[in-house]
A and B are shown apart, each in its own frame.
Chain A
């Protein structure tokens, strides 16, 4: 029993979790608006977009990679869904209309294709992930501009708006989406062979290859999933704003990386968890929300967020028993 308690506290997710609880308690005392149902759901809804992206980012970072293109993929997928459901597609004089579900599918497919492109760059062409996804960040943003002509696509269907602003069983829809994704991938990473391989590849790619693991295939899969999850985030953003903005998602990659890092996942790969990332994203969410409630200037908010990221990494480095 004692051992069980000790091993629970040795888990890397415990420190960020403690920080999260501390922040929540402190905020409750500092502002009477914080611990209201309205505000809590507000925070959760804001965080849900970052959560979707961060889950994909966690898997990428666990393999020892990085994905800078998530924000741009989000924008293009959102634009594709909005554009197709609103305007349809004219191919060689033939007009194809898209239903709500058709639009969703097209957006997810867009994310998958762009993510797979990242994966191919990394595996087949040996482009370092930072550079490969930096390229895609620009490519996808450019494609978004081309597709939208630089203007927002507005006026979406009711079904679409429900996805962003609706409630189901007393919980906002985006929160449901994020929750399902988190539960699925937390299970996937812990319980399936592929999940284990993702950890193994990040821990030691060569040993994984020499154990007969199809390393390239798994890495390709991980970048593809990151693309799909960015597309999901793109749908949420578009649905919430009732429009697809050409510059949507700019800078979101940084929030996602911050959530992953604060959550205790090692940037060199092999170590970390989806649970940690969820806590990390919530910390960022509460920080954003709390600083607004406390009337801290937006400029100071950025400075404070930066120090939180640095602090989290430093605490993790110095208290972890596995320094190398």
Chain B
């Protein structure tokens, strides 16, 4: 039996963000020499909890006791300076000095080398970080954490961009560190990794601790059961809509990595949506949901292959402009970054996509613009002091309605919605759900991407899942069960 020393103990942690309770009375302990897996759907509160125990976030309720020399966190996006050497990265901001006060490069490289050696790695501490593969960069991050004497190491989905072989190496390092007494916190969606590595499993859901159990005493099925079962917002499905003809049909859609790695970001995706139907696309963070919508909408000209048919005719998705002209609309995930011009007022935002239709002889008729914008403000219940109010001053729910109004003015036949209710309060959510139902009844074809199972199950007629850019499962309404949908979205291996 290894020692049961508690390195870190968090009790009754509560963290409030505007509008939501991110963590609600969570207890969490890290033992020396153990691997603690943390599982939960997107938005369950994992990241918030990790930010609190790593000391990044200090504004919370509850108590946190740390008996470790240091707590280090390795983020999913690595925080290395690409043009600096491995040694320089490891000692960034803490460089050993010579007596003259200059950086002691030799000593730095020697010490970095010995830490890497201790991790069983052969990385040259002098090579620049950008020349390393992602798996090697991860090792550098771990070495950096160890150089800071960290006894607790938090890893956020460390294998998400690693090859199988790199994953093996990482697992070896993690097991080795644990056997030397480091406490590891390991966030993952991959059930196989939990069974392979974890001593303890912690499951969060809606900011609450659902279960904390030694791996031996539970099963993968039980873990999945604990992850699902979130509260529904109270909206129930319209149910009695009758879908018409097929409007959008996608077959074998593939997307090259927009970043240019040459790999396929999406491949072999297919689905169809009919008029008056709401199709849900479910997947975990990074599964490619947003990219799928953007690929259809013409955001990646030249990188998309496969067949996309609009009412049986090939869709021209060579630009967002042509997509809009053919009757597509996209409500982006981040409305502030991609949906609104925050410095413009409600009227200007609402008419932006259909502005040409308000012009006669090349001149925009402001009166007609005001009438239309006012009409949609009424119809969607946008709460504002006037149409002249700037978009930035509106609440999240009202901002989303402005984006929706912008698209309704173009009278689209297909509306793609990416996380339409992210970050908006429960009443506004229900209003958005009602609007989606209304639009479907008017005969529009809707595609809703969401990472919230209860939401997508309440709103949609059918659901497909994506996993790692590939098709997962497909579910009809009568087959909607949280566990099976989640299972079809979890990465294999």
Residues of A within 8 A of B (CB): 7, 191-193, 196-197, 199-200, 203-204, 206-214, 270-271, 322, 324
Contacts and interface: CB of A to CB of B under 8 A. Distances in A.
B406 A211 contact: yes
A199 B330 contact: no
Interface residues of B, number: 33
Contacts of A191: 363-364
Interface string B389-406: 010100000000000001
Contacts of B390: 322
Nearest to B403: A207
Contacts of A207: 332, 337-341
A322 B321 contact: no
18 contacts: A7-B388, A192-B364, A196-B348, A196-B352, A203-B343, A204-B342, A207-B339, A207-B340, A208-B341, A210-B299, A211-B353, A211-B406, A213-B321, A214-B319, A270-B343, A322-B390, A322-B392, A324-B392
B341 A203 contact: yes
Contact of A212 (B321, B340, B342, B343): B321
Contact of B344 (A192, A199, A209, A213): A199
Contacts of A322: 343, 390, 392
A204 B353 CA distance: 13
Contacts of B191: none
B64 interface: no
B171 to A, nearest CB: 39
Contacts of A196: 348, 352, 355, 364
Contacts of B338: 204, 206-207, 210
B19 interface: no
Q: Is the interface of B mostly helix, strand, loop or mixed?
A: mixed
B324 interface: yes
Nearest to A212: B324
Given A192-B363, A193-B356, A271 B325 contact: no
B362 interface: yes
Most interface-central of B338, B352, B363, B364 (chain A CB within 10 A):
B352
B17 to A, nearest CB: 20
A200 B323 CA distance: 19
B421 interface: no
A67 to B, nearest CB: 22
Contacts of B388: 7
Contacts of A204: 337-338, 340-342
Given A210-B338, A210-B339, A213-B321, A203 B356 contact: no
A158 to B, nearest CB: 37
Interface in B328-371: 330, 332, 337-344, 348, 352-353, 355-356, 358-359, 362-364
Contact of A192 (B330, B340, B343, B362): B362
B31 to A, nearest CB: 45
A212 B355 CA distance: 11
> Could you say which of A206, A211, A324 has the most chain B C-beta atoms within 10 Å of its C-beta?
A211
Given A192-B362, A193-B359, A210 B332 contact: yes
A211 B355 CA distance: 10
A210 B340 CA distance: 10
B125 interface: no
B368 to A, nearest CB: 13
B295 to A, nearest CB: 13
Given A192-B362, A193-B355, A210-B297, 17 more contacts: A191-B363, A192-B364, A193-B358, A196-B352, A200-B341, A200-B352, A207-B337, A207-B341, A208-B352, A210-B299, A210-B332, A211-B320, A211-B352, A211-B406, A212-B323, A213-B321, A322-B392
Contacts of A208: 341, 352
Given A203-B342, A270-B341, A212 B353 contact: yes
Which of B299, B321, B332: most chain A CB closer than 10 A? Answer: B321
A207 B338 CA distance: 4
A211 B363 contact: no
Contacts of B359: 192-193
Interface in B399-451: 406, 410
A211 B325 CA distance: 10
Contacts of B330: 210
A203 B344 contact: yes
Contacts of B337: 204, 206-207
A231 B131 CA distance: 48
A110 to B, nearest CB: 27
Nearest to A216: B319
Contacts of B406: 211
A300 B388 CA distance: 44
A207 B348 CA distance: 13
A317 to B, nearest CB: 15
A191 B359 CA distance: 9
B325 to A, nearest CB: 7
A95 B342 CA distance: 57
Contacts of B355: 193, 196-197
A6 B323 CA distance: 42
Contacts of B392: 322, 324
Nearest to B340: A207
A199 B325 CA distance: 21
Contacts of A7: 388
Interface in B165-189: none
A50 B423 CA distance: 48
Nearest to B330: A210
B405 to A, nearest CB: 12
Given A210-B330, A210-B332, A322-B390, A271 B320 contact: no
Given A193-B356, A270-B341, A271-B343, A209 B362 contact: no
A207 B337 CA distance: 7
A10 to B, nearest CB: 10
Nearest to A191: B363
A196 B366 CA distance: 12
A46 to B, nearest CB: 34
Interface centre among B297, B325, B359, B410 (most CB of A within 10 A): B359
Contacts of B356: 193
B283 to A, nearest CB: 21
Interface in B279-329: 297, 299, 319-321, 323-325
B325 A212 contact: yes
Nearest 6 CB-CB pairs, A to B? A212-B324, A203-B341, A211-B353, A204-B341, A193-B355, A206-B338
B116 to A, nearest CB: 37
B433 to A, nearest CB: 23
Q: Which among B343, B363, B364 has the highest number of chain A CB atoms within 10 Å?
A: B343
A209 B297 CA distance: 11
